[in-house]
Amino acid sequence: MKKPEFEQFRGALLRRAKAIPQQAREPYRLGIVRLIEDTGLFLVQRARKDGHDQALIEIHCSWIGTDFSPDAVKATLREVWPGALFGAGQEGSLIESEDEIVTLEFAWDGGAGLFLTGRIKVTV
């Protein structure tokens, strides 16, 4: 998604739905960690599930691939994200880079008036 489209999608979710309860976020946190670590190109350093509404799950990791360009990190994230993580529902994501940090932000409409948002920050 483009940035304005993603921000509009996430904003609409925040206005009309409720955040998935903190306990219910744990399987998603674990799934995201597994999804990115299974590539063999990321090393997760911290993974939280108690953030604010725009990033209920926050993951910080380092890139350990051989190509240290932000473009390589972004391409890898695009290939694997979101996989089978969410199943049903509508998901939107945005991948941006600034200097040596690549950030993937996502929002998922899980139905039943519940949403999940998150941010994955990768240090290149």
Q: In the structure encoding, which two tokens stand for residue 108, read together? A: 């998922």
pLDDT band at 108 (very low <50, low <70, confident <90, very high): very high
Tokens encoding 69: 């360009």
Dist. CA 33–CA 12, nearest whole Å: 26
In a 3-state reduction of DSSP, which class is residue 55?
coil
Cα 48-108-79 angle, rounded to 5 deg: 85
pLDDT at residue 26, rounded to an integer: 94
- β pairing state of 18-19 and 114-123: parallel
Enter the pTM of the model: 0.94
- The first and second tokens of residue 63, run together, are 């890139």
* 61: nearest Cα among 49, 73, 52: 73
Q: Which two tokens stand for residue 53?
A: 């509404």
Find the Cα–Cα–Cα–Cα dihedral 108, 112, 113, 117, rounded to 10°.
-20
Distance CA 94, CA 38 (A): 21
Domain coverage including residue 61 = 3-123
The number of folded domains in the chain is 1
Q: What is the CATH number of the domain that holds 48?
A: 3.30.460
Model confidence pLDDT, tens digit, residues 73-98: 999 999 999 999 998 889 999 999 99
The tokens describing 35, both together, are 């999804």
State the pLDDT at residue 122: 98
pLDDT of residue 35: 96
Q: Give bridge partners of residue 118 from the DSSP assignment.
A: 57, 106
